[in-house]
């Protein structure tokens, strides 16, 4: 089963992206489930490498590591550019994508969840 999760909110300040990544990681544990996370708007900042959070707080960079190993993490190119986020600043395994690729992923997915 192909699952597409689209994240829109920033990494910190709300918990929507955090909860989306929690679900994505949980879905990875089910056999036969393919997970793609597509980040748009402020969510592209979730994939910035080198995040430093206080002890005891969630760190979205750490939450992305299993996803890049077992799934796919894509970022909206236009949204990255609007926020000055460069490819070399991304967590390894995350990559720049496009609306055309998101469209194809949406058509191919059996379920699409938006956070």
pLDDT at 34: 97
Tally Cβ neighbours within 10 Å of residue 68: 17
Instruction: Indicate whether 20 pLDDT > 90.
Output: yes
Structurally, the chain folds into a number of domains equal to 1
Instruction: Tell me what the pLDDT averaged over the chain comes to.
Output: 96
pLDDT digits (tens, 9 = 90+) for 36-72: 999 999 999 999 999 998 888 899 999 999 999 999 9
Give the domain extent around 65.
2-50+59-114
Tally Cβ neighbours within 10 Å of residue 16: 15
DSSP secondary structure string for all residues of 21-89: HHHHHHHTTSTT-EEEEEE-GGGGGGGBSS----TTS--HHHHHHHHHHHSEEEEEHHHHHHTT--GGG
pLDDT at 56: 80
pLDDT at 87: 98
Give the CATH number for residue 110. 3.40.1260.10
Region 15-42 average pLDDT: 97
């Amino acid at each position: 089963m192909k699952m597409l999760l689209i994240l829109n909110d920033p990494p910190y300040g709300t918990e929507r992206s955090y909860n989306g990544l929690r679900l994505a990681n949980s879905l990875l544990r089910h056999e036969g489930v393919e997970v793609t996370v597509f980040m748009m708007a402020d969510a592209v900042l979730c994939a910035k490498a080198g995040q430093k959070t206080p002890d005891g707080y969630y760190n979205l960079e750490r939450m992305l590591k299993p996803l890049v190993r077992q799934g796919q993490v894509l970022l909206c190119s236009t949204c990255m550019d609007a926020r000055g986020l460069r490819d070399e600043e991304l967590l390894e395994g995350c990559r720049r994508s496009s609306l055309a690729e998101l469209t194809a992923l949406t058509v191919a997915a059996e379920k699409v969840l938006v956070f």
